[in-house]
Chain A
Amino acid sequence: MKKTSLTIIGTLIMMCMVITACAPAATPTAGPSPTPVVIKETVVVTPTPAPAGPVTITFWHTYNEVSPENKMLVETLIPMFEAEHPNIKVESLVVPWEDFRRKLFAAIAGGVAPDLIRSDIIWVPELADMGALVALDEAMPDFDQYKKIMFPGPLSTNYWKGHYYGLPLDTNTKVWLYNKEMYDAAGITEPPKTMDDLVAQCEAIKKANPNAYLFAADGTWAWVMLPWIWSFGGDITDPDVTRASGYLNGPKTVAAYEFWLKMYKDGCFAPVILGSGIDPWTGFAQDLYASLDNGPWMYPIFEAQFPNKKLHASLFPAGDGGSINVVGGEDIVLFKQSKHPQEAMEFIRFALSPEYQLKMAEVGQIPVRMDLIESDYMKNHPYYPIFLEQLKTSKARTAHPAWSKMDEIVTNAGQLILRGEKTPQEALDEAAAQIDALLGQ
């Protein structure tokens, strides 16, 4: 029997290692604060008593550690806030998007959730549904004041079952970004206006350089696929989010995937979509990929990484459904486990102030205040106008607590199709049935 206990201990140690391996890494600015203790069992860890001096609130976000956004937040904005509020210290933590949910859930289970996070808009319904978030419309006495000045689209992403669980922090969408040098070399004078233009452009690009690709993306997840599905006139579910059958496997969505399959097979779309080869941005900078669709945050990052390349943008090519891209953006939400909700709300107010919003606009974050969006600053900006134009037709992903699972189903369907293991119709029929089952729950 000794072996059993060894095994059990071994497994436990393994689990602990696995979980602690996910404890968020400290950022350079991290001040002295209690380290989150995450243990295997879902036991609430007794909080360390608040020190008599200034209180520390934690703020998790997905800005890249070395990005201009993170630099602005950590070196300019947080010091500004701390100068105005000497009793509050803000600890900012970088958590990569891919790991964010895992780390967050581990922290919640351990009772050490951060006070605030900059949440992808699509996670808010799920977190609210779990009972992890504070309903801000109840907790903030001045909530309506903010609600009034927010852009309605981003604001609506905070709404779940009768309450607002957060406030918008930034908004965005993707546009068509093209490599002017490659277009010139291939004799292409104008960015594509329709899906048919893409086919013609691909031929020209391939003629100029057989090793080049027209378009690259980093996977088949919904964030990549939705602009194509919508622009072809398809969708994932019905407008009320009750079923996927007839939508995800409807003729228009199938047509979008058939177009993708053809483009992939013809060597127009790069194999990096299935994971092999050079990543989209590097390939774009090296004149291998002629176009991408991406967001405004890429401008400052691209400028810093590839200073001798310039980005050129146009609206996403239109199909039967128009030129529709996907609305992204982030909300700021407050956790019930926060020990300093008042101080955290003070930071929310700061994050929605014109100063904060305009500073973040300098590094690619589109503001969410109506007064700023309609300002001359935005209208005369070098690259925001095209995004604001695209935002007029862009649509939001499905607001549902099971979105992450739906996204995985969509991702897998795309993989099966491009790998040639299933036809678009077969793969989408199955995916639609799986999502139906999810929504039926």
Chain B
Amino acid sequence: MVRALQISFFDWNIVPGQVSEFVGLNNYVRTIHDPLFWLSLKNTVMYAAVTVSGQLLFGLLVALILDHVSRGRVFFRTVYYLPVVTSWVVVSLLFKYLFNASPSGLVNYFLVDILHVLSTHIPWLNEPKTAFVAIYCLGIWKGVGWTMVIFLAALQSIPEEYHDAASIDGASGWQIIRHITLPLLVPTMILVMIMLTIGAFQAYIQVALITGGGPLHRTEVLLSYMYERAFRDREFGYAAAISYVLIGLVFLISQVQLRLLKSEPMY
């Protein structure tokens, strides 16, 4: 860790024993002028925004439904949780095949040949916009099970009396959810949001395996970009600087979110 900080001030030669040139803050200044750094930052923020809200929304939805069904809960819980415990590498490759450009890609086959929603086969992973659709879908699908489990636990810790009292007062199902369940879930939601955001900023494997950051670096996220710089271009000093910027950002964001948690009234 300290070593990485040290490296970030050098034009680092990775061969142990070779001389590295001290460049001061140059590596950090360089991030400001590097359009690809900004693009990967933007992509990372977008990834976090889309996947975190997606996971929160779908996770909550699934948790609410499962909380109300009495049969098959264990089965569905397992089904939704399975992606969470599956390796990123496996599911990334799976999604890569699903979104294959050729007519044999399952998503293309489904949308064009079965549903006829689209008229031609889309080369999903060749365009940044559509490639991100695949990456976002994967991020949400893989995380929903985790948020669901946390929400389910929180839901089950809400005392039955609250719901009973509300229905005696004549509240409908939706009103109960809107005015009793959701407010009680807010602290859990913020906690989940913090954890998910930290995770989203560290997205790497899915991008590396599905698009490799391409085409033209347009789907690069911070970690994949850092990795390219380090291990393809041997710019270890610059990569170390990027990783420190990333750490700083994640720290800042989680601080803001923590404030949010503290300012919420606790029930």
Q: How many A-B residue pairs have CB under 8 A?
A: 100
Do the beta carbons of A43 and B123 come within 8 Å of each other? no
Residues of B within 8 A of A18 (CB): 204-205, 223, 227
Taking a contact as CB atoms closer than 8 A, the residue among B4, B89, B234 that contacts A41 in the complex is: B4
CB-nearest residue of chain B relative to A4? Answer: B251
Given the known interface contacts A3-B255, A42-B7, A276-B101, the answer about A108 and B15 at a Cβ–Cβ threshold of 8 Å is: yes
A419 to B218, CA, bound (A): 14
- B231:A130 contact, CB within 8 angstroms: no
Query: Is there contact, CB below 8 Å, between A106 and B231?
Result: yes
B11 to chain A, nearest CB (A): 11
Stretch at the interface among A8-16, A136-144, A157-165, A175-183: A8-16
B161 within 8 A of A: no
A416 adjacent to B216 (CB under 8 Å): yes
CA distance A131 to B89 in the complex (A): 34
Q: Are A132 and B1 in contact, CB atoms less than 8 angstroms apart?
A: no
B231's partner among A101, A111, A416 (CB-CB below 8 A) is A101
What is the minimal beta-carbon distance from B144 to any residue of chain A, in angstroms? 21
Q: Kindly supply a per-residue 1/0 record for chain A positions 119-159, scoring 1 wherever the CB is within 8 Å of any chain B CB and 0 otherwise.
A: 00000000000111000000000000000000000000000
Complex contact A130–B101 (CB within 8 A): no
Check A3–B15 contact: CB distance below 8 A: no
The answer to whether B125 touches A275, judged by C-beta atoms less than 8 angstroms apart, is: yes
Q: How far is the CB of A136 from chain B (nearest CB, A)?
A: 17
> What's the tally of chain A residues with a CB closer than 8 Å to chain B?
42
- Assuming the contacts A12-B1, A42-B14, A101-B231, asked whether A276 and B126 have C-beta atoms less than 8 A apart, the reply is yes
A97 CB-CB contact with B under 8 Å = no
Which parts of A82-112 form the interface with B (CB within 8 Å)?
101-102, 105-106, 108-109, 111
Q: Does B28 count as interface, using CB distance less than 8 angstroms?
A: no
Most chain B CB neighbours (cut-off 10 Å) among A10, A275, A276: A276
Given contacts A108-B15, A404-B232, A404-B233, contact A275 B215 (CB under 8 A): yes
In the complex, per-residue mask of B8-45: 1 if CB is within 8 Å of any chain A CB, else 0? 00001111111000000000000000000000000000
Q: Complex Cα distance A176/B32, Å? A: 46
The residues of B that contact A130 with a CB separation of less than 8 Å are 13-15, 18, 234
Q: Is A271 an interface residue (CB 8 A)?
A: yes
Whether A11 pairs with B126 at a CB distance below 8 angstroms is no
In the complex, what residues of B have CB within 8 A of residue A294's CB? none
Residues of A within 8 A of B214 (CB): 275
Contact of B215 among A22, A111, A415 (CB under 8 A): A415
> Please, how many angstroms separate the alpha-carbon atoms of A4 and B198 in the complex?
11
- A101 surroundings in chain B (CB, below 8 A): 231-232
B258 interfacial contact with A, CB 8 Å: yes
Tally of chain B residues near chain A (CB < 8 A): 41
In the complex, are the beta carbons of A276 and B102 less than 8 A apart? Answer: yes
Within 132-177 of B, Cβ neighbours of A (below 8 Å) are at: none
Grouping DSSP codes into helix (H, G, I), strand (E, B) and loop, the B interface class, with mixed when no group exceeds half, is helix
CB distance from A53 to the nearest CB of B (A): 28
Shortest C-beta distance, B176 to chain A (Å), equals 34
Contact assessment for A276 and B123 in the assembled complex, using a CB-CB cutoff below 8 Å: yes
Question: Complex Cα distance A404/B14, Å?
Answer: 17
Q: Which residue of A lies closest to B12 (CB)?
A: A42
What residues of chain A lie closer than 8 Å to B250, measured between beta carbons? 7, 11
Task: Give the residues from 177 to 226 in chain B that come closer than 8 angstroms, CB to CB, to chain A.
Answer: 194, 198, 202, 204-205, 214-216, 223
Question: 1/0 contact trace for B110-132 toward A, CB 8 Å?
Answer: 00000000000001011000000
- Chain A residue with Cβ nearest B234: A105
Looking at the complex, which one of B13, B15, B198, B232 makes contact with A7 (CB distance below 8 Å)?
B198
Residue A277 is within 8 A (CB to CB) of chain B in the complex: yes
Contact digits for A33-75, partner B, Cβ 8 Å, 1 yes 0 no: 0000000111110000000000000000000000000000000
- Asked if A188 is at the interface of the complex by the 8 Å CB criterion, the answer is no
- In the assembled complex, the CB of B241 is this many whole angstroms from the nearest CB of chain A, namely 14
Contact B231 A105 (CB under 8 A): yes
- Contact status B198-A10, CB under 8 Å: yes
Task: For the complex, give the distance between the alpha carbons of A259 and B188 in Å.
Answer: 60
Which residues does chain A contribute within 8 Å of B198, judged by CB atoms?
A: 6-7, 10
- Residues of A within 8 Å of B16, CB to CB, are 42, 44, 109, 111, 337
Q: A275 — which chain B residues lie within 8 A by C-beta?
A: 101, 123, 125-126, 214-215
In angstroms, how far is the closest chain A Cβ from the Cβ of B257?
A: 9
**Per-position 1/0 for A183-199, Cβ under 8 A of B:** 00000000000000000
Residues of chain B with a CB closer than 8 A to A378's CB: none
Cβ-based interface call for A207 (8 A): no
- Tell me, rounded to whole Å, the shortest Cβ–Cβ distance linking A405 to chain B: 6
- Interface residues as binary, B241-252 with A (CB distance below 8 Å gives 1, 0 otherwise): 001001100110
Question: Which of B7, B14, B101, B254 interacts with A105 by CB under 8 Å?
Answer: B14
Whether A21 is near chain B, meaning CB under 8 Å from some CB there, is yes
- C-alpha spacing A93/B231, complex, angstroms: 19
- Chain A, 405-438, contact with B by CB distance < 8 Å: what is the 0/1 string? 1000000100110010000000000000000000
CB contacts (< 8 Å) of A102 on chain B: these are 227, 231-232
A-B contact pairs, 12 of them (CB 8 A): A3-B258, A18-B227, A105-B14, A111-B16, A130-B13, A275-B126, A275-B214, A276-B126, A277-B101, A336-B15, A416-B216, A419-B215
Q: Which 9 A-B pairs have the closest CB atoms?
A: A276-B123, A276-B101, A102-B231, A41-B3, A109-B14, A131-B18, A44-B16, A14-B202, A3-B254
Known: A7-B198, A101-B232, A337-B16. 15 other contacts (CB 8 A): A3-B254, A7-B251, A10-B198, A11-B202, A21-B89, A41-B1, A42-B12, A101-B231, A102-B227, A102-B231, A106-B231, A130-B13, A274-B123, A276-B101, A336-B15
